[in-house]
């Protein structure tokens, strides 16, 4: 099966070739035909499956036949990174089509986005909050949008964007087609699907479980030894790019600093960074200048780096969905990947849930030569006499 079977315009095929795509991925095979027919589609697929091209290609085809200079398709994304990446994919695949897109997200000034809107675009890829700002200021006209794409819908709901999405929907008077992509189908998403999609075709890739090309391993460890274990593990493991997840922004920053201090090309990606620094961190990670990126769940959303060989959960995620999303960063398309998860005595229930989703017991491993009995370092912030008193108490 090749891309020729979809009969895309030659300008679109030029983009497909430029990106080196030869065979459509399963999500592309199954969703492109109904999207081209104008059907509503629910795509149950995690990132890494090729879902972006699955909607970008038929949307480009649709827009080729529409008047230029007004927005005919809107892609709603939960995070700025995902919005930026989708915008870039549109740029790459659509380079010869003349179809233009704009990425709209907060954390940066509005002027540049406004300028692009004024110059005329056919696709807007937007995070809900900033999109509403533009709508309220009268900067953007969604009245000609015919295709709406809601990407990573489950994450969008986790982040509380449902009311925003309802407001955005009210501005689309000519919407003819809705495509909704989600790794999982929680009740909130199901309700929205019933409300806004008409007679949708459901395309499911896998079972919202982590990609089969990823192997999973647990590393039981005491909380205070996690950073030492991470350093040792990275030293002993042959890796390409590595994505490390922590529960908090602060921890992401600290862990990245500690890795950097002992010689790893590491940095952090978390919500405390300015947009410029986030973009630099992402670009450096993508180009390979940075080998280890330490991130929080929200910040890492949409990271698309094919060479990620390892995802390391420094902290256990809070939900199995979050586990699925994190692990979706490795083993993308044809690559294989490894997922290492540090577990403490408090993570027992979550481990069981993850094993249920994976339908398998996950291997527990210890790292040869690592001192698992090392004592907790004394906090430099606690005065010695207080430490003594604490020990006596």
Residues near ligand AMP (CB under 6 A) are 19, 21, 23-25, 28, 47-53, 304, 306, 332-333
Cβ closest to ligand AMP, residue 181 vs residue 342: 181
Element (H, E) at 221: none
Least distance (Å) from ligand AMP to the CB of residue 46? 8
Torsion of CA 51, 57, 62, 63, to 10 degrees: 110
Q: Which two tokens stand for residue 35?
A: 């999207």
Cβ closest to ligand AMP, residue 85 vs residue 227: 85
In the beta sheet, which residues pair with residue 204? 44
Q: Which two tokens stand for residue 220?
A: 């039981």
Helices assigned H by DSSP within the chain: 10-18, 26-36, 51-64, 80-93, 111-119, 128-136, 153-158, 162-169, 187-196, 226-236, 249-261, 275-287, 297-300, 320-327, 348-358, 384-392
Least distance (Å) from ligand AMP to the CB of residue 333? 4
Cβ closest to ligand AMP, residue 211 vs residue 252: 211
Handedness of CA 107, 110, 114, 115 (dihedral sign): negative
Least distance (Å) from ligand AMP to the CB of residue 167? 27
Least distance (Å) from ligand AMP to the CB of residue 44? 13
Cβ closest to ligand AMP, residue 27 vs residue 252: 27
Q: Which of 274, 262, 261, 269 is nearest to 286 (CA)?
A: 269
Least distance (Å) from ligand AMP to the CB of residue 82? 9
Cβ closest to ligand AMP, residue 52 vs residue 267: 52
Cα separation of 94 and 81, whole Å?
A: 19
Cβ closest to ligand AMP, residue 19 vs residue 262: 19
Least distance (Å) from ligand AMP to the CB of residue 138? 33
Cβ closest to ligand AMP, residue 51 vs residue 249: 51
In whole angstroms, how large is the CA radius of gyration of the chain?
Answer: 22
Cβ closest to ligand AMP, residue 19 vs residue 360: 19
Least distance (Å) from ligand AMP to the CB of residue 328? 8
Q: Which two tokens stand for residue 9?
A: 């315009």
Q: Which two tokens stand for residue 17?
A: 């070739």
Cβ closest to ligand AMP, residue 1 vs residue 392: 1
Angle at 275 between CA 269 and CA 279, to 5 degrees: 60
Least distance (Å) from ligand AMP to the CB of residue 306? 5
What HEC string does 238-278 produce? CCCEEEEECCCHHHHHHHHHHHHHCCCCEEEECCCCCHHHH
Residue with tokens 């095979």: 29
Q: Write the burial class of residue 148 (CB in 10 Å: 0-12 exposed, 13-18 middle, 19+ buried).
A: buried
Are 340 and 312 in contact by the 8 Å Cβ rule? The answer is yes
Least distance (Å) from ligand AMP to the CB of residue 331? 11
């Amino acid at each position: 099966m090749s891309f020729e079977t979809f009969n895309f315009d030659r300008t679109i095929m030029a983009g497909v070739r430029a990106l080196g795509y030869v065979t459509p991925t399963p999500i592309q095979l199954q969703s492109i035909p109904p999207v081209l027919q104008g059907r509503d589609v629910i795509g149950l697929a995690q990132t890494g499956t090729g879902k972006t091209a699955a909607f970008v290609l038929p949307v480009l085809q649709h827009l080729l036949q529409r008047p230029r200079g007004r927005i005919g398709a809107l892609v709603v994304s939960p995070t700025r990174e995902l919005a930026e990446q989708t915008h870039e994919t549109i740029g790459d695949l659509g380079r010869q089509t003349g179809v233009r897109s704009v990425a709209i997200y907060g954390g940066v000034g509005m002027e540049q986005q406004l300028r692009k809107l004024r110059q005329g675009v056919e696709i807007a890829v937007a995070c809900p909050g900033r999109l509403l700002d533009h709508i309220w200021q009268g900067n953007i006209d969604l009245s000609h949008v015919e295709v709406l794409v809601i990407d990573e819908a489950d994450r969008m709901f986790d982040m509380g964007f449902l009311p925003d999405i309802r407001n955005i929907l009210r501005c689309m008077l000519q919407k003819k087609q809705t495509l909704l992509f989600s790794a999982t189908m929680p009740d909130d998403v199901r309700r929205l699907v019933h409300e806004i999609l008409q007679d949708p075709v459901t395309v499911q890739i896998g079972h919202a479980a982590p990609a089969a090309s990823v192997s999973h391993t647990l590393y039981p460890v005491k909380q205070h030894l996690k950073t030492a274990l991470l350093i040792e593990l990275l030293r002993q493991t042959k890796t390409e790019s590595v994505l490390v997840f922590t529960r908090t922004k602060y921890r992401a920053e600290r862990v990245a600093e500690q890795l950097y201090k002992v010689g790893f090309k590491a940095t952090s990606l978390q919500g405390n960074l300015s947009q410029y620094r986030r973009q630099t961190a992402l670009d450096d990670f993508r180009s390979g200048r940075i080998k280890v990126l330490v991130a929080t769940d929200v910040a890492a959303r949409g990271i698309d780096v094919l060479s990620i060989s390892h995802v390391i959960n420094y902290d256990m995620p809070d939900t199995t969905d979050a586990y699925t999303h994190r692990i979706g960063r490795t083993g993308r398309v044809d690559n294989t990947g490894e997922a290492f998860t540090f577990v403490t005595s408090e993570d027992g229930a979550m481990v069981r849930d993850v094993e249920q989703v994976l339908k398998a017991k996950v291997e527990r491993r210890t790292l040869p030569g690592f001192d698992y009995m090392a004592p907790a370092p004394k906090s430099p912030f606690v005065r010695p006499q207080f430490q003594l008193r604490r020990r006596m108490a």
